[in-house]
Structure 1
Amino acid sequence: MILINLLPHREEKRKRRKAAFFLGLGLAAAVGVVVATLWYVVLQQMISSQQERNSFLAAEIRKLEAEIKDVATLRAEIDALKARQQAVEDLQTDRNIPVHMLNELVKQTPEGIYYTAVKQDGQVLTLTGVAQTNERVSELLRNTGNNSEWLTRPELVEIKVATVQGASREVRRLYDFSMRVSIKRPQAEASAAAASQPTSAKPARKP
């Protein structure tokens, strides 16, 4: 006996496929929403963590800036104290400069020279005098330039011949001269020289 299915099976299959398609589409949409939600949550956590790190770094930077300001203030105070100390030392040195200067002039002036005027303008000393010969003036320049502890950089301004009549009516030929010489502080130069010298490395110990 032959059985014939007269029901619309094709329509039923089409409905089942359509239902399966919409079911898969709904599942895919649900999975997509879940994945998007999870990714959004992860991103929010990453953003929150980065914001916390940024806040921490900003706080540390503010602390460092405060410490840097404190260090700069301390350095300024140290520099001010050093400047005051140097000013006091300079005042003490300047107070004794005239004595040292006169002692140096006595030590470095050769025989045959006498001064008619000594004038100080700041750190420059102007000497005016009379010499028996040109060689005496040259010797004075060498002494103040090479051998003096308080005088340096001598400069001859003028020298000219002058005739002087002595008590016995004898006419003598002398030399009027004028020179400038700078005043130096030996302590300041010694400190500058010590600061400019590199620190020597300590020798390694032998085992």
Structure 2
Amino acid sequence: MAHVNLLPWREKQRQHQKQQYLAGLVAVAAIVGLIFWFIGQAIDQQINNQNSRNQYLEREIAVLDAQIGEIKKVKERKSAVEQRMALIEQLQANRNVAPIVFDELAKLVPQGVAFESMTRTNNIIRIEGISDSNNRLSDFMRALDNSKVFMGAELSTIKSDSSAARAISNFTLTFSINPNVAPLEIVSSEAQ
């Protein structure tokens, strides 16, 4: 009689295939898990590298900010020194202006013209005075215009005063000092 195997061989074969399938599935899952773990480690390493680069840049930026602050302070000090120097130069240039102005006025004022008050604002001079003749006042204005020290003589007001024994006129006259004699003043925030 032929030998017949009555053992459930198909069942064992299925069991064996199932075990191989599960073993392959576990191996694939382990490999995929390892791949994801390596990818995660690589990403973490890149993040750490980028963070260290960022910290280095932040430190360097802080150093540069400090240097910029120092540069600003130096520039402010330089500007203050330059303003002081300009003011000193201006004072040096203007130190002889008053004597020159008074000397020139003494030469130009004709007889019969007298000053009651004189004010100077920057390079503008305003004179209030009296004159015994309009012709003498006109001569004075012409002399101011022809002067190398003064320019732009302008008569603001003239009033005749008939109450006095002699006829006199009160006048207000403004004119400028030539910039060649007295350079225009530099307005300094330090000087004010």
Contact (CA 8 Å) 1:161, 1:175: kept in 2 or not?
A: yes
Q: Name the structure 1 match of 2:173.
A: 179
- Unmatched tracts of structure 1, length 5 or more: 166-170, 192-207
Q: Name the structure 2 match of 1:126.
A: 126
Q: 1:90 to 1:190 in 2, by over 3 A?
A: closer
In the comparison of the two structures, how many residue pairs are matched? 183
Contact (CA 8 Å) 1:154, 1:179: kept in 2 or not?
A: yes
- Distance in 1 (alpha carbons) for counterparts of 2:143 and 2:45: 84
Please report how far the alpha carbon of residue 67 of structure 1 lies from its aligned counterpart in structure 2 after TM superposition. 1.5
Q: Percent identity?
A: 23
Letter in 2 for 1:46: Q
TM-score, normalising length: structure 2: 0.71
Contact (CA 8 Å) 1:125, 1:181: kept in 2 or not?
A: yes
Task: Give secondary structure in 2 for the equivalent of 1:129.
Answer: strand
Deviates more, 1:111-120 or 1:9-18: 111-120
- Distance in 2 (alpha carbons) for counterparts of 1:93 and 1:78: 22
Please report how far the alpha carbon of residue 2 of structure 1 lies from its aligned counterpart in structure 2 after TM superposition. 6.5
- Unmatched tracts of structure 2, length 5 or more: 187-192
* RMSD across aligned positions (CA): 3.9
Please report how far the alpha carbon of residue 72 of structure 1 lies from its aligned counterpart in structure 2 after TM superposition. 1.0
- Spell out the pairing of 1:114-193 with structure 2 (5 A cutoff): 114-120=113-119, 122-123=121-122, 125-131=125-131, 132-133=133-134, 136-137=137-138, 140=141, 143=144, 156=156, 158-163=157-162, 174-181=168-175, 186=180, 188-189=183-184
- Distance in 2 (alpha carbons) for counterparts of 1:96 and 1:6: 137
Q: 1:64 to 1:45 in 2, by over 3 A?
A: same
Deviations 1:111-138 (A, max 9, x none): 6772322423553533022343379559
Deviations 1:52-99 (A, max 9, x none): 211221121122112112211211121121122123223334432211
Bigger RCO (CA 8 Å, 6+ sep): 2
Contact (CA 8 Å) 2:110, 2:140: kept in 1 or not?
A: no
Letter in 2 for 1:19: Q
- Distance in 1 (alpha carbons) for counterparts of 2:183 and 2:115: 31
Q: Name the structure 2 match of 1:55.
A: 55
